[in-house]
């Protein structure tokens, strides 16, 4: 038996909106730790890892570890039917082939339940080791989204370079080139407007903008995004999900042949 | 020309 009650149901709506275009089908894993998902896109170039810790739920009952295969587009369709202020409860029976999403309006005057068929998904679960990064950039998520959108109108790839001058996003295409430099800025009124660059050593990596733009669909989840770079590793683009967890996107770089 | 690496080249299956 599984029963997870999330008062801030809009978080789950936003999570689904941010992953449904990247991944078609995925297993949601439920354990004492929390509600999690790990899945790769169909080209195996990007990976998404979501964790919503059990403490973040108002009520969290998970009698035994459960893996539920879901079509993310269908799940997003159902969650779109929840109001932004609704409380969302996810319910499933052990060994059952459906999951139920229950939506309660804040005043309890409307209660809806949507039952969705589960599916068997044969997915590979990857071990992601804790890593030291050469550079970690924390910046306003809306700024990062704007940069990715702007650059994708010029080119297909972005070179992200971190030096002591700041972080530079560059692209080139048929019509020309573009460079956007963001410098560290911690003298801001609101902490969410800060740009913080922690650099161990300079790093420069190339990525497909199509994926970066897809990751920025998570922008409504968090005012800040963290971009962790190392020449030996995929970039990690992380958005915090309120106080309860994170959604991390991993993207393998493009290398010169 | 750039070669797009795959995630599986970095992380192993559990």
The ipTM (two decimal places) reads 0.94
d(CA A181, CA A204): 13
**Cβ of A126 and B1 within 8 Å?**
no
Residues of A engaging B, defined by a Cβ cutoff of 8 Å: 40, 43-47, 124-129, 157, 206, 208, 233-234, 250, 252-257
For residue A13, give how far its alpha carbon lies from the nearest alpha carbon of chain B (Å).
27
- With a cut of 50, which residues of chain B have pLDDT below it? none
Q: Write down the pLDDT at residue A3.
A: 97
- What's the farthest any 2 CA atoms get from each other in chain A? 61
For residue A192, give how far its alpha carbon lies from the nearest alpha carbon of chain B (Å).
31
**Three-class secondary structure assignment of chain A:** CEEEEECCCHHHHHHHHHHCCCCCEEEEEECCCEEEEEEECCCCCEEEEEEEEHHHCCEEEECCCEEEEEEHHHHHHHHCCCCCCCEEEEEECCCCCEEEEEEECCCCCCEEEEEEECCCCCCCCEECCCCCCCEEEEEEHHHHHHHHHHHHCCCCEEEEEEECCEEEEEEEECCEEEEEEECCECCCCCHHHCEEEEECCCEEEEEEHHHHHHHHHHHHHCCEEEEEECCCCCEEEEEEECCCEEEEEEECCEEEC
Q: Write down the pLDDT at residue A101.
A: 98
For residue B10, give how far its alpha carbon lies from the nearest alpha carbon of chain A (Å).
7
Contacts of B9 in chain A (CB under 8 A): 252
**Cβ of A256 and B8 within 8 Å?**
no
**Cβ of A254 and B9 within 8 Å?**
no
For A19, residues 6+ apart whose C-beta sits below 8 A from its C-beta are A26, A37, A39, A48, A50, A72, A217, A218, A247
The shortest CB-CB distance from B7 to any of A40, A208, A255 is to A40
Q: Write down the pLDDT at residue B12.
A: 83
Q: Write down the pLDDT at residue A210.
A: 97
Q: State the 10-residue block means of pLDDT for chain A, 257 residues long.
A: 96 97 96 96 96 98 95 97 97 94 96 97 89 97 98 98 96 98 96 96 97 98 98 96 96 90
């Amino acid at each position: 038996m599984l029963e997870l009650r999330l008062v801030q149901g809009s978080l789950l709506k936003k999570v689904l909106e941010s992953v449904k275009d990247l991944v078609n089908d995925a297993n949601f894993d439920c354990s004492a730790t929390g509600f999690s998902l790990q899945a790769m896109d169909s080209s195996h170039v990007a990976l998404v890892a979501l964790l919503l810790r059990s403490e973040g739920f108002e009520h969290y009952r998970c009698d035994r570890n459960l893996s539920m295969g879901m079509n993310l587009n269908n799940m997003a369709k159902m969650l779109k039917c929840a109001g932004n202020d609704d409380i969302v409860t996810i319910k499933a029976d052990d060994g059952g082939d459906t999951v139920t999403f229950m939506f309660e309006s804040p005043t309890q005057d409307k209660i809806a339940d949507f039952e969705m068929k589960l599916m068997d998904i044969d997915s590979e679960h990857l071990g992601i080791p804790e890593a030291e990064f050469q550079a970690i950039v924390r910046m306003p998520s809306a700024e990062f989204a704007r940069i990715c959108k702007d650059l994708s109108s010029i080119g297909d790839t972005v070179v992200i370079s971190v030096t002591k001058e700041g972080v530079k996003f560059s692209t080139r295409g048929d019509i020309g080139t573009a460079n956007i430099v963001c410098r560290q800025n911690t003298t801001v009124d609101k902490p969410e407007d800060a740009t913080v660059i922690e650099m161990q050593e300079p790093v420069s990596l190339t990525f497909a903008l199509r994926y970066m733009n897809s990751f920025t669909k998570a922008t409504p989840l968090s005012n800040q995004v963290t971009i962790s770079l190392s020449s030996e590793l995929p970039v990690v683009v992380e958005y915090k999900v309120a106080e309860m967890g994170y959604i991390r996107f991993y993207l393998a770089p493009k290398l010169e042949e | 020309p750039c070669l797009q690496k795959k995630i599986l080249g970095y992380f192993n299956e559990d």
